[in-house]
Chains A and B, each alone.
Chain A
Amino acid sequence: METILKNLKIAIFDVMEKMFFLLPDESDGSIPEISDSESVYIGITGKPAYVVSLEFDHTLAATMSSDLLGLDAEDVDTETIQKCLKETANIIAGNFLLGFDNEENRNVTLPHMQKNEVMGSYNALSDNEFTLSYNGCGINILLEAVESE
C-alpha cells in the first residue's frame, strides 16, 4: 500500500503543477481545515480495486476551475467546478494507473460526484487518508483498497 500511496501522491502533485501551475505549500505541520468543499470520486478496477476520494476546499476548487478555463472566479458556478473536478480526477487517476503493473489489466472508472456511484457496494479492505495544502487551502485524499460485495 505504501508504494501505491506514493504513486497517488506523485500523480496529484504532477497534475496540480502541470494543469494548474500549483505547488504544494511548504509544510509547517498544520493541516488546513476544510469547511466548504467539493468532492469527487473515481475508481481503479482490479483485485483489489481502489476508490480515490478527493475533497477540495471550495475556494481552491473555484480557483483551479477558473485557471483551467481562463475565466474570472466569479464566472465559475458550481456545475462548472464539478465538471472541472471530474476532469481533474480522471487525469489524476490515469496517471495513478501508470504506477500499476501492466499485467494487472486495470482500468479507470468514470469520475462521480457521489461515492456510491463509483463501484456500487463494496467492502473496504484498507484505507489511507492524507491532506495536501495548496495556497493555504486543503485537499483531503482518501485511498481505499476495496472488493465488491
Chain B
Amino acid sequence: MVLNILIVDDSEVMRKVIRRIMSLSGFELGIVMEAEHGEEALSVLSDNWIDVVISDINMPVMNGIELLKKMKETESMSSTPVIVVSTEGRSERIEEIMNLGAAGFITKPFNPEDIRSVICEALGVEADGDYSEESEDSDF
C-alpha cells in the first residue's frame, strides 16, 4: 500500500520529524508533500492526489481546525482523511476535533507505532498492512 501524504505544520523541525517517523512506521510512502499552514495545504490538495493529511492545529494564516472545516466543505477533499497531531491532549479537545471530521488524533510525543495505528484505523486497514474484511468487501 503506497501512501501519498501531506504534512502540515508551521515548524520545519516537526515536519521533518513527522516525515522521519512516517518512514519508520512501515508504510510505503509515495509523494510526501509539506505545507506550513492550512492555506498552503489547500493549494497542495487542489493540485495533488493525497491519501492522508497529517496536520498540526496551531499555525499562522490558517490553523488546522480551519483547514479541516474547509476540506469538509470542499467536495474533492471532503473524503481525504485528516490526522490531527497536537500537544493539546485533553479529552474534550480531542472529542471536539473528531466531531469536526478528523479521522484520527495523535498526541505529541508519538512513535512510529502510534502513527501507524491511527492511520490504519483511519483508512480501515489492519495495522499489519492487510486490508480489513470491511475494505475487501467494499466496492472500491
Which residues of A approach B to under 8 Å, CB–CB? 14-15, 18-19, 68-70, 80, 83-84, 86-87, 90-91, 93-95, 97-98, 102, 108
Contacts and interface: CB of A to CB of B under 8 A. Distances in A.
A87 B17 contact: yes
Interface of B: 11-14, 16-17, 20, 86-90, 92, 108-111
Nearest to A14: B109
A69 B109 contact: no
A114 to B, nearest CB: 19
Contact of B17 (A68, A80, A98, A102): A68
B13 A84 contact: yes
A94 B11 CA distance: 15
B87 A102 contact: no
A87 B88 CA distance: 14
Contacts of B14: 87
Contact of A18 (B86, B92, B111): B111
Contacts of B110: 18
B76 to A, nearest CB: 33
Contacts of A69: 13, 16-17, 20
Contacts of A18: 109-111
Contacts of A83: 11-13
Nearest to B16: A69
14 contacts: A15-B109, A68-B13, A68-B17, A69-B20, A83-B12, A86-B13, A87-B13, A87-B14, A90-B87, A91-B109, A93-B87, A97-B87, A102-B90, A102-B92
A98 B87 CA distance: 9
Contacts of A94: 86-89, 108
Given A18-B111, A69-B17, A87 B87 contact: no
A97 to B, nearest CB: 8
